Amino acid sequence: MNRYKLSGVIAIILFAAAGALYAQQKPVKVKGATGRWQVSEEITLKQAEERAFMEAKKEALQKAGVMENVWSVFGQITQESGQEFHEAYSQMNVLAIGGMVNVTNKKVEEVWDTATRSLYKVVTIDAEVQKEDKPDKSYAIDVKGVETLYREGDVFNCKLIVHGTDSYLKFFWFDSTGGALLYPNAYEPDALLKAGKEYAVPFSNAVDYRMEKQQGKDNEKINIMMVATKENIPFTDEVTYQNVLKWVYSIPSNQRCAFYNMVLIK
């Protein structure tokens, strides 16, 4: 049985050939989107900057007219290592609300508020916001059996159903050091999933996804992303969150659906 370690970046052979990307909407340019966050005994300068940065991204989304209500996801993030990991999780949530923020300019300041006698980190950005077009509301992926907490050595598995149309699946995995494409792989080639049929992941008994932490770490936070597409659209780039999101946004929203979650390995 072949085991794919889920805590590290695993090199998996990609069998899909390069193909033409779908056209996408022209990005909306936004200037001067600002976010700020208070520094306190509980919030360090670095943490305040990260949160102010996400507030600036939220304002950029609002200025671009993506949607009326956006939310912060940093309450769910406690891992200190890996700014890219923070970005991966926050960007996945941005994906959920209908737009990807590509920052083109960023200014960071420390501001003392005399009224509240408090120090704030203030982040101002210029950005290009890639807006979603109209999704196919009948097209959805339903994933069950993903736990919030796993112990080291546990085997990961879940069940999934794609609703709406027969589809192809890509399964991405991100941790604090990088990412991997877990499906398709050398033992589980691309296969057409029938709409409405329940499938077990992994698809083959030849593959075993076993939870392992990075050496010396008390815990490991993992981002999961599964993307179903109506056509078999290859992902051939290096697996980073930004490359994956660029690939996702190259596909019209009515041709794809996605599932994403964050889990903890203790």
| Residue 195 binned pLDDT confidence (cut-offs 50, 70, 90) | very high
| Residue 20 binned pLDDT confidence (cut-offs 50, 70, 90) | very low
pLDDT digits (tens, 9 = 90+) for 51-89: 888 888 888 888 888 754 443 333 333 333 444 445 555
pLDDT digits (tens, 9 = 90+) for 173-185: 988 778 899 999 9
How distant, in Å, are the alpha carbons of 170, 191, 247, 255 from that of 232?
10, 9, 13, 10
pLDDT over 70 at 102, yes or no:
yes
pLDDT over 80 at 207, yes or no:
yes
Query: pTM here?
Result: 0.64
Rounded to the nearest integer, the mean pLDDT of the chain is 79
In DSSP notation, the chain reads -EEEESSS-------PPP-PPPP-PPPEEEEEEEEEEE--SSS-HHHHHHHHHHHHHHHHHHHTTS-S-----GGG----S-HHHHHHHHHHHHHHTTEEEEEEEEEEEEEEETTTTEEEEEEEEEEEEEE-----TT-EEEEE---SEE-TTPEE-EEEEEESS-BEEEEEEEETTEEEEEESBTTB---PBPTT-EEEESSSTTEEEE--PPTT-S-EEEEEEEEEESS-----S---HHHHHHHHHTS-GGGEEEEEEEEEE-
Radius of gyration of the chain (CA): 19
Q: What is the mean pLDDT of residues 231-236?
A: 94
CA distance 193 to 172: 17
